[in-house]
Amino acid sequence: MKLADKVVLITGAGSGIGRQTALLCAREGAHIAAVDIDETTAEQTAATITADNGQAIAIAADVSRAADCERMVQQAEAAYGRLDVLFNNAGISHHADADAIDTEEEVWDLTMAVNLKGVFLGCKYGIPALRRAGGGAIVNTASFVALLGAATPQLAYTASKGGVLALTRELAVVHARENIRVNALCPGPLCTELLMKYLDSEEKRQRRLVHIPMGRFGEAEEIARSVVFLASDDASFITGATFTVDGGITAAYVTSE
């Protein structure tokens, strides 16, 4: 098992990438702290794990609030005695996110609070816990749009994910000699509720698929496997990386000068 007896805290664990990652980490031997703003979905994830003879606790937390982030780390340590892996995955994509002209300040602020500040706060309280454990791994969820821009305007989301990349690189350098690895995961378009609520017709889906060399949307479980890799000793010499899992979309559109 790649994560045997490791304690893994996952935000946004109630659905999508977070839930699939929690389930896979548990199958790989990890003890899971499943965190979500929706306590019911966090409990569902934890219950699925325990029903399969795994170990998991559910924690309700709003990652945009410092007190909640401090508490989620404290609860994970109280339950399992340590923290080895932090997956800062919680994020939102607001329906009113548009371009610079049409995006309201409130939408910008909320998106930044969850997607970027939430990662900062997770690291603020998670890194001391990793130090207490003698080191560990952090994986932050960014996005392929941070590398090439969104096909349709979603400025706050794209900017927040670009911030996650910058934050990840700096923390990786700062903590590299403390046995703490920090990497950013950049998923491509996935068949998840977050994206499908926008691509709500076959025509819209096909317009997006034409840009993906593999010709299909990714699955949350495929991203989960990447998280397990980055969290495990298989990635022991990887830090500060932008780990892109996107079906080839950035390879098709990003060029170097």
Give the catalytic positions in this structure: 157
CA angle centred on 82, ends 76 and 83, rounded to 5°: 70
Q: Residue 256: what residue type? A: S
The Cα 198–Cα 184 span in angstroms is 24
Contact 88, 140 (CB under 8 A): yes
Inter-CA distances, 2 with 101, 112, 194, 249, Å: 47, 33, 29, 29
The Cα 64–Cα 60 span in angstroms is 12
Task: List strands edge to edge, sheet with 7-11.
Answer: 55-60, 31-36, 7-11, 85-88, 136-141, 180-187, 242-245
Determine if residue 240 is left, alpha or beta; phi over 0 gives left, psi from -120 to 50 gives alpha, anything else beta. Answer: left
Residue bearing tokens 């002209």:
101
How many other C-beta atoms are found inside a 10 Å radius of the C-beta of residue 102? 11
